[in-house]
Structure 1
Amino acid sequence: MSADPADIVRGLWAALARRDWDAVTPFLADDCIYVDVPFGPTLAARGPVDIVKRIKVGFEPLTAYANHDGLLVSTGDDVIYEHSETWEWPTGEVAVLPFVTVHRIRDGQIILWKDYWDSATLIQNAPPTWMSDLASADTSWVFDATGHI
């Protein structure tokens, strides 16, 4: 794996686009914190196993997922990635979600991952049951990152 922070982030997103969970985890440090910013730090995840569990909550119900590359800016160990994602559900709904993602790299692995996006875009385009499905999903991954980010 390359030590270049930009290459590390590109590698993570290539693995995510394939939904290859085994390929995702090596990019994440054992103490990596993932924060889905619209939901706040109290619903963060920490560590590769729990971060993958968290991401699967959103991705597993989808019949198709695509990541659309955009601007990637790297300065030292910090990488900002502007991109969009297309989510498709088996019931026919489609959402195109613009993101800005911030990553911090240490010793060749991601130690912080924050996704900034507009949750209203997803809620307006997801199936009507999406919020209730989300509320009943596995939450064993929850880590309160308040004060850690």
Structure 2
Amino acid sequence: MSYLDTVKALIEDWKRKDLDAVANYVTDDLVYFYAAGQAPINGKKAFRAFLETIKEHQQQPAWRIKRSAESVNTLFVEGVDDYVNPAGHHIQTPYVGIYEFRDGKISAWRDYFDFELLKKMETGEAPNEHYQALAKA
């Protein structure tokens, strides 16, 4: 299975909210940066606990990958995190994700997106036209 296939399978398990399956794609010593500038989530157990905290928040997930590139042990993706929050706001966040693999599992994961704009969209503020264009590109 390619690295891209692994992440696509992880996404499908997330859409089904199968947290145990999602956690099985990562190593026990995973280092996960949910957002640049925030402290990392360290380890599979902490990662699984984090997923539990966002599970009900991200309703109708339609997370997708638009472009990708692989190297020896790394996958780079450009995509859109797409869901509806409990207040009914449709959130579409363009992002870049970097996944490092060891023995077929994700050992490091870094996501880069505009976290401040995400927080505004969570309250119902519409993103500007340029941001919307990125989400559709």
TM range (shorter): 0.7 to 0.9
1:77 aligns with 2:73: yes
Q: Indicate the residue corresponding to 1:33 in structure 2.
A: 31
Q: Aligned-pair distance for 1:19? A: 2.1
Q: Per chain length, whose mean CA-contact separation is higher, i.e. which structure has more relative contact order (CA < 8 Å, sep 6+)?
A: 1
CA distance in 2, matches of 1:69, 1:75: 17
CA contact (8 A) 1:67 1:86 kept: yes
Runs of 4+ deviating beyond 4 Å: none
* TM-score relative to the length of structure 2: 0.79
Which of 36, 52, 60 is residue 56 of structure 1 equivalent to? 52
Which of 6, 9, 13 is the matching residue for 2:4?
6
SS at 2:61 equivalent: strand
* Cα RMSD after superposing both structures: 1.8
Change (3 A) 1:64 1:23: same
On the 8 A contact 2:19/2:51 being kept in 1, the answer is no
Superposition TM-score, scaled by structure 1 size: 0.74
The Cα shift of 1:94 comes to 1.8
Report the identity percentage.
Answer: 23
Residue of structure 1 in register with 2:64 after alignment = 68
Mapped contact 1:59–1:65 kept (Cα < 8 A): no
- Structure 1 spans left out of the alignment, 5+ residues: 129-149
